[in-house]
């Protein structure tokens, strides 16, 4: 039999001897909120750090709520202004259309009055003409005056 072989173990350097490569952070654009958080000094203990973080979160929340309320109020005011402008424009347009309609109505009423006057005059002239024709017919009658005064009713049993 052969002698037992010793196991091959990798050579491990002590932890202190291994040096991690240096990591250089890439430049990053940090939003104002994170930048404000970065300016908070390092807390001495975790309770103070948590308190500071909560205060920062509350402040940021209040700022966002305030900005939202201001934006909401501005949008509502803009909406009211737009609505008022649209209503005013619609009312002005309606007044203009009513003015045009009133003028057209007045013109039509004048035409109707003119047609009524024409009808009245036409009927009067027609009546005068027909009466004149009847008068001329009576005057030019070949039958004597006696027969004109005495109607003859033949065939009615007289």
Tell whether 151 is covered by a domain.
no
Tell whether 42 is covered by a domain.
yes
The total domain count for the chain is: 1
Burial class of residue 52 (count of CB atoms within 10 Å of its CB; 0-12, 13-18, 19+)? middle
Tell whether 46 is covered by a domain.
yes
pTM (predicted TM-score): 0.41
pLDDT band at 15 (very low <50, low <70, confident <90, very high): very low
SS (H, E, C) 131-150: HHHHHHHHHCCCCCHHHHHC
Q: Is 157 left (phi over 0), alpha (psi -120 to 50) or beta?
A: left
43-82, pLDDT tens digit by residue? 457 888 899 999 999 999 999 999 999 999 999 999 999 9
Structural domain for 74, as ranges: 32-137
Tell whether 79 is covered by a domain.
yes
Tell whether 41 is covered by a domain.
yes
Average pLDDT over residues 19-26: 50
Tell whether 22 is covered by a domain.
no
118-141, pLDDT tens digit by residue? 999 999 999 999 999 999 999 987
């Amino acid at each position: 039999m052969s002698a037992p072989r010793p196991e091959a173990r990798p050579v491990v350097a002590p932890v202190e001897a291994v040096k991690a490569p240096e990591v250089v952070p890439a430049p990053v654009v940090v939003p104002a909120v994170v930048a404000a958080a970065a300016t908070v000094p390092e807390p001495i203990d975790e309770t103070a750090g948590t308190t500071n973080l909560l205060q920062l979160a509350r402040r940021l929340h209040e700022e966002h709520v305030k900005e939202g309320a201001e934006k909401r109020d501005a949008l509502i005011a803009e909406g009211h202004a737009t609505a008022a402008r649209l209503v005013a424009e619609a009312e002005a347009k309606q007044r203009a259309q009513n003015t045009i309609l009133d003028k057209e109505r007045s013109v039509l009423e004048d035409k109707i009055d003119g047609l009524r006057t024409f009808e009245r005059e036409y009927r009067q002239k027609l009546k005068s003409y027909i009466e004149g024709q009847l008068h001329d017919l009576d005057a030019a009658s070949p039958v004597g005056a006696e027969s004109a005064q005495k109607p003859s009713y033949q065939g009615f049993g007289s």
